[in-house]
Amino acid sequence: MNVMNVDYSTKIPNNVNLSEDRQVLKALEGWHPGYMDWWSDMGPEGFQQSLVYLRTAYSVDPRGWAKFDYVKMPDYRWGILLAPQEENRVIPFGENFGKPAWQEVPGEHRATLRRLIVIQGDTEPASVEQQRFLGKTAPSLYDLRNLFQVNVEEGRHLWAMVYLLQKYFGRDGREEADDLLRRRSGDADSPRMLGAFNEATPDWLSFFMFTYFTDRDGKMQLHSLAQSGFDPLSRTCRFMLTEEAHHMFVGETGISRVVQRTCEAMKAAGISDPEDIAKVRALGVIDLPTIQKKLNLHYSLSLDLFGSEVSTNAANAFNAGIKGRYKETAIEDDHRLQNSTYPVLKLIDGKVKRVDEPALTALNMRLRDDYTQDCAKGLLRWNKIIALAGYDIRLELPNVAFHRQIGEFKDINATPDGLLIDDATWNRRKGEWVPSADDGDFIASLMKPVTEAGEFASWISPPKVGIDNKPGDFEYVKIDT
């Protein structure tokens, strides 16, 4: 079969020749009903019978891979799609640098690989669970459709990881696949594996922050796994990244549109001080200081996803050829890192300082630095909108020491500027830096659904262009059908 095109004749669309891989097909078909149960229990609340204008992958050709059409979400064709195999691909880093990439799991790396695949897999359904109530308060049909697009694709990413587990990890892989449907975001007994994926996503500003900051952590992880010497994992991640770009687009443009609307409303009302929160809120828009607080929260939660700055697990995974660096093949060095160092931010004598550590153990830190650079691009865009409106205030990424639960700074308190403070000061002032209950209540008060085609809630601007170039009044979701 041609790997570029996806076979839709089987129950599970795929480009991995499932119809001739009976055992794996059987395992996946056995897993399917549990997945559908999970989707109906934990997927988007309501709208399951609505027609949603969704894209579905029909190919893995980067020049044209998606088809748009109205689909009921439960009828979405969740499939197994791998990017085409690169001929003669070699392991691009670590002790096995230059050797042929593995088409099967090497015995000695089985446990590490399985753990990484399970952790990645666990985040995919988690985000669907976190976002499941947002449909009820969508600011427009355009946004509603984007939410559901993100949700069905995160579901597909779960399928992608489950395929790897079932095909390459035998019985324990099948058990892990079942457990991925058993854990629940925020559950006291059986939570999802990573902290940020157990947090609530209570409103649409959180959703945009999540897709901007937390999906971007996903992007960085997928990029490092796309370098993997285990070729099926590499190919899976490469195609997931194609879809993932849209999720971050939703976040970046979502925040842009919120900032835009706030600035427009302030200008129209003649407000000169953007920090006059009461006046700004009276206009039915979200004030910039509150947007900054949400940003502080989601950025710091997402930094925790990179793990400890110094990590022997990360070093081992790199040495083994399992998890590389961001854009590994574009980096000009020896790709082994045995003798190099990397500067790591550490807490020394009560101050945040840079210290050179062996580059191998500092790989989490490096990936986190790449992430921070990637995050900064959105801030440039948002700040441009604010500057163009004539306001002298900027959104900023908080210091890495701010509000951390994992790594070097987990036991201290710091302001967004990186000033270390004691517990009492933190407790007294944290409401200035992360959203307070009042902030949450205010945002919640704005979250009224808008379901008229082409209409938008008071607190967000319309997008510049439609999805699939559709006009502004396009009915992206036919709610009652």
Are residues 463 and 258 in contact, defined by beta-carbon separation less than 8 angstroms? no
Phi, psi torsion values for 355, nearest 5 degrees: -130, 135
CA distance 229 to 223: 13
Residue type present at position 75: D
* Binding residue (CB under 5 A) for Fe ion from 184, 216, 247, 403: 247
* Residues contacting Fe ion: total by CB under 5 A: 6
Which tokens belong to 87? 């001929």
State the nearest-atom distance from the C-beta of 127 to Fe ion, in Å: 7
Is the Cβ of residue 96 or residue 146 nearer to Fe ion in the bound state? 146
Choose among 12, 94, 153: nearest CA to 321: 94
Are residues 31 and 177 in contact, defined by beta-carbon separation less than 8 angstroms? yes
Are residues 331 and 325 in contact, defined by beta-carbon separation less than 8 angstroms? yes
Is the Cβ of residue 360 or residue 375 nearer to Fe ion in the bound state? 375
Is the Cβ of residue 127 or residue 227 nearer to Fe ion in the bound state? 127
State the nearest-atom distance from the C-beta of 120 to Fe ion, in Å: 8
State the nearest-atom distance from the C-beta of 206 to Fe ion, in Å: 15
State the nearest-atom distance from the C-beta of 157 to Fe ion, in Å: 4
x/- mask, Fe ion, residues 278-317, rule CB under 5 A, reads: ----------------------------------------
The stretch among 50-58, 212-220, 368-376, 417-425 that binds Fe ion (CB under 5 A) is 212-220
Are residues 209 and 258 in contact, defined by beta-carbon separation less than 8 angstroms? no
State the nearest-atom distance from the C-beta of 134 to Fe ion, in Å: 14
The stretch among 154-162, 168-176, 230-238, 338-346 that binds Fe ion (CB under 5 A) is 154-162
Is the Cβ of residue 199 or residue 215 nearer to Fe ion in the bound state? 215
State the nearest-atom distance from the C-beta of 124 to Fe ion, in Å: 5
For 441, counting Cβ atoms within 10 Å of its Cβ (0-12 exposed, 13-18 middle, 19+ buried), the class is: exposed
CA distance 132 to 115: 27
Are residues 173 and 161 in contact, defined by beta-carbon separation less than 8 angstroms? no
H helices present in 306-345, as ranges:
312-320
3-state helix/strand/coil string of 234-268: HHHHHHHHHHHHHHHHHHHHHHHHHHHHHHHHHHH
The stretch among 196-204, 247-255, 354-362, 392-400 that binds Fe ion (CB under 5 A) is 247-255
For 7, counting Cβ atoms within 10 Å of its Cβ (0-12 exposed, 13-18 middle, 19+ buried), the class is: middle
- Our finding on whether 157 is near Fe ion (CB under 5 A) is yes
- Our finding on whether 183 is near Fe ion (CB under 5 A) is no
Is the Cβ of residue 113 or residue 225 nearer to Fe ion in the bound state? 225
Q: Which of residues 82-141 bind Fe ion (CB under 5 A)?
A: 124
Cβ of 325: how many Cβ atoms within 10 Å? 23
- Our finding on whether 156 is near Fe ion (CB under 5 A) is no
Cβ of 477: how many Cβ atoms within 10 Å? 24
- Our finding on whether 216 is near Fe ion (CB under 5 A) is no
CA distance 380 to 396: 9
Phi, psi torsion values for 98, nearest 5 degrees: 90, -10
Is the Cβ of residue 124 or residue 309 nearer to Fe ion in the bound state? 124
x/- mask, Fe ion, residues 340-379, rule CB under 5 A, reads: ----------------------------------------
Is the Cβ of residue 244 or residue 408 nearer to Fe ion in the bound state? 244
The stretch among 163-171, 214-222, 320-328, 446-454 that binds Fe ion (CB under 5 A) is 214-222
Which tokens belong to 254? 């979502």
Q: Which of residues 217-246 bind Fe ion (CB under 5 A)?
A: 244
The stretch among 4-12, 23-31, 210-218, 413-421 that binds Fe ion (CB under 5 A) is 210-218
- Our finding on whether 215 is near Fe ion (CB under 5 A) is yes
User: Binding residues for Fe ion, per CB under 5 A?
Assistant: 124, 154, 157, 215, 244, 247
